[in-house]
Structure formats: C-alpha cells, structure tokens
Amino acid sequence: MQESRIQMTAGKILSPIKGELLRGSRDVSFSGVSTDSRTVERGQLFFALRGETFDGHDFVKEAIKKGAVAVVVNKDWTVDLPAHTRASLIRVPDTLKALGDLARRWRRRFDARVAAITGSGGKTTTKEMTYAILSLEGLTLKNEGNFNNLIGLPLSLFLLDKSHRYAVFEMGMNRPGEIGRLTEIADPDIGLITNVGYAHIEGVGSIEGVAKAKVELLEKMAPRALAILNGDDRILMQAAVAFRKKPVTFGQGLENTLRAEKIRNLGREGFSFDIHWRGKSFSVRLRVPGFHNVSNALAAAAIALSLDLSKDQIQEGLSRFEGIKGRFKVVPLPDGSILIDDTYNSNPSSLRLALKSIKVLAPQDRRVIVGLGEMLELGEETETSHLEAGKMVAEAGADWLVALGEHASKMIRGAVDKGFPRRKAIRVKDYKEMGSKILEIMKPGDLVFLKASRRMGLERVAERIKKSA
C-alpha cells in the first residue's frame, strides 16, 4: 500500500479523536499514519491497536525508536517511557475508534465524491470495475487488497488528497455494527449493496442477520447520500424496506432503475449486453466470464451513471476490465486445459453462481475437475452448506471432485447423494495433496475449477497447476 498522505500536528487531532496530550508538544507535525511497528517510518503517527492475538501497546517503544513522532494509546495503558523520549504521547478512550474518527475528519477535508460498496459477494470486482470507469474521468482512489475493515479503510482514507476527484471503497464485515461504523468513517456520497448471501453467518446468526448487517450502510449514510441496491435480491429489498429514501436499483427485473437486456454469453470471451437506464439503452462489452459479472458490471455502471459519467466512459471502462487474480480468473494452459482460479474466497451463494458459469465454459467433450476447500464462517449452517456444495458439483455435471477441509466428507456425501460416482469423489488432507491428485487426474483439454475460503490456501494449488501443465 502507498504511504499515507495525511499531514497534521498532534494538537490538531486531539479534538476529533477525543485525545489528551500526556507528554510532548502539540506542535509536532507528523506525515503518515502507521498501525504496525514493523513498518512504521520516521515522522509518522503510530496508533497502538489491540486485537485478539496482539497488543500494539507492547510495541510503542519500538515504534518510537524507528522514528514515530507521536503515539496514540488507550487510556488504560500504563505509561512506561524513558524520560528523554521526545515523541508526543496522546491518550484516548479507544485507539481503534480514534483511528476511524481521524480518518473521517481527514475525508471531510476534501471534495472527492466517495462511493462505498458492500455485500456478500462481488464487492471487490464491483469496486475494480467502478474504478476502471471513474478513472477515465478523474484521479480516483480505491482501497487495495483486504484494506476493507476497521483498520484498512481508515488507512486507505489517509491516502486521499485534493487531487482526487473520486474514491471507491469496498467494506467488509464479520459481525453486526461493522458496516455501520465503516459507513460513519467513509461518509459516502453513494452507498451500494451488491447482494445478500450465505457469508459470515457465524458472526450474525442467519441470512436475515446478514441482510440486517448489510443495510447498516443505509442507516448510517448521510441524508444527502444516494443508495443503490440489487433490486433482484428479494432478501435485500425486504431488509431495506424500512428506509424511506427511494434507492436506485439494478438487475434484470423490469422494475429496476438500471437493468441488463439482451444478454449474450460469449463463453470464455465474456458477455455483451444492453444497459437500460431512464428510458435509454446502450450496449456494453464485458471481457470476463461468469454470469455474476453481469450483475457486478451493472452495479459499477449504476455508480458511474449516478455520478453523471457518460455511456462512452462506462463502455470503455468495462471493456478494459480484465478480471482479478483469484476471482473466477480464467487461465488457458499450454496443453489446451483451462484453469479457473476462484481461490480468493467462497460461500454457498458465490459457489452456486460460479458453478453455473462453468457449465457454459465447459462443452460436453471437456472434462471438469472441481477442487473445493472449506467454506468458513458459516456458523450453524456449516454442515448443511457443505452438503449443498457437493450437490451443486453433481448438478453442474462435473467429472471429478477433490475436496479439502474438515467438512470435505460432507461435500463428498452431498455429491454422491445426487448421483455423483463415489470413486471420483476424493478427500485430500492438505493443499499439497490436492495439487498432486488433480495433476494425476488431469488430461489435456480438461477444465479445472478451484474454490475455497482464503485460509485454505488453494491459490498454491492454482500456482502448481499453472507451472506443471
């Protein structure tokens, strides 16, 4: 990630973060913010954050030694610094909240139009498509990688400066309250929800809990802000009914403000379709496969149109988008095989959409090998979801299933119950064995599909297949 551009004095941040200066000067100026003592740079402000497995207060001395000129600590921390320490020390009720409050204050210094995106699936792809379009009109900021939480979003906002015309941020969550807090921090002009699905159920209890958590975005947005929702998502629209402000909706249903028409599936080459908006239509060309990407493209177009960008810019931006590593990335291999790398994450909703697309990409003469890893954070739905995953594989017409994880046997059972050949459903103990087994099964011309939650490490299986094919 780039170095933070924020520049302020210790005295100027005391009010927004509800801080008390314990020692040092109010006039000390810092340039950049760090939350990691390992990477803190000279002249930066260091926030000592607490997590489940770490406490940044244990590394305050190290941060100062590396050149931090000011440090923000929790009020319950016992100060134990050498008397000659020159760094300014600021005490706050909660360092994580203070980080977000400072980011919100910094964001409000600039006129950039901010779009915030959340949802159970498609957040990153929609963000990247939106970025591809908005960048044609003016300098646009986005959050990178996994900088979509209560630490990463503030650090991303600190990159904002007066040269930016737009900013687009994705927002993730694991428990109730997170989306609401992220919305308070980003203070978006536009808030978009891609969908509601079976993701992060462990933290919210049910699919209804997921929907309730996502619509925190609508609850916390400023009155001036515009809401954009997936109008085809029944659960989402029901959860959003309490919010009186009429949203812009996108989807394929005729009642949507923005809808896709005349969809033409071009297989590996992507899609072409028409976007209908306010009585007019224009065609777009999407160069990435997967039915779900039509919805992602509509969402990105809805943001761009709401910001008054032209149809020409939307057409060019979507045409330029080439996909994201680990997110249904189609990789042709030298022997004529195809690898679909969808290893970044997985949940039942995204798996269903991906397998639906695979049926189109694999004609009847092409064998399909599916490598699935565990889907995490599903709570009480875990066993049922993995049984259903196996059934989906069977229904998709796959030839082989290689399953990894604690619930691999459930996936295999689900597939076999749907008529999948038991001898072609294999359980492996780790990603290394999965790679070996798939390479053993593979023949020239096969299609290999890999998907799992991030922690399962299936991206290493993808890399091995690419190197060996």
- Domain end marker among 320, 341, 374: 320
Give the CA angle between residues 234, 236, 241 to the nearest 5°. 95
Q: Could you give the CA distance from residue 115 to residue 225 in angstroms, rounded to a whole number?
A: 9
Cross-strand bridge partners of residue 332: 338
What is the tally of structural domains in the chain?
Answer: 3
User: Does 361 lie in the same domain as 448?
Assistant: yes
CATH number of the domain encompassing residue 360:
3.90.190.20
Give how far the C-alpha of residue 266 lies from the chain's centroid of Cα atoms, to the nearest Å: 26
CATH number of the domain encompassing residue 74:
3.40.1390.10
Q: Which domain holds residue 52?
A: 7-93
User: Does 183 lie in the same domain as 293?
Assistant: yes
Residue 251 falls inside a structural domain: yes
User: Does 311 lie in the same domain as 427?
Assistant: no
Q: Could you give the CA distance from residue 345 to residue 55 in angstroms, rounded to a whole number?
A: 28
Residue 380 falls inside a structural domain: yes
Residue 418 falls inside a structural domain: yes
Residue 131 falls inside a structural domain: yes
pTM of the model: 0.88
Report pLDDT for 4: 58
φ/ψ of residue 105, rounded to 5: -60, -40
Residue 364 falls inside a structural domain: yes
R_g (Cα) of the chain, nearest Å: 24
Report pLDDT for 1: 47
User: Does 163 lie in the same domain as 143?
Assistant: yes
Q: Could you give the CA distance from residue 352 to residue 311 in angstroms, rounded to a whole number?
A: 31
User: Does 276 lie in the same domain as 142?
Assistant: yes
| pLDDT tens track, the chain, 469 positions | 445 589 999 999 999 999 999 999 999 999 999 999 999 999 999 999 998 888 999 999 999 999 999 999 999 888 778 878 889 999 999 999 999 999 999 999 999 999 999 999 999 999 999 999 999 999 999 999 789 999 999 999 999 999 999 999 999 998 899 999 999 999 999 999 999 987 666 667 788 888 999 999 999 999 999 999 999 999 999 999 988 788 999 999 999 999 999 999 998 899 999 999 999 999 999 999 999 999 999 999 999 999 999 999 999 999 999 999 889 999 999 999 999 999 999 999 899 989 988 877 877 778 999 999 999 989 889 999 999 999 999 999 999 999 999 999 999 999 999 999 999 999 999 999 999 999 999 999 999 999 999 899 999 999 999 998 7
User: Does 334 lie in the same domain as 306?
Assistant: no
Q: Could you give the CA distance from residue 307 to residue 168 in angstroms, rounded to a whole number?
A: 12
User: Does 444 lie in the same domain as 315?
Assistant: no
Report pLDDT for 359: 76
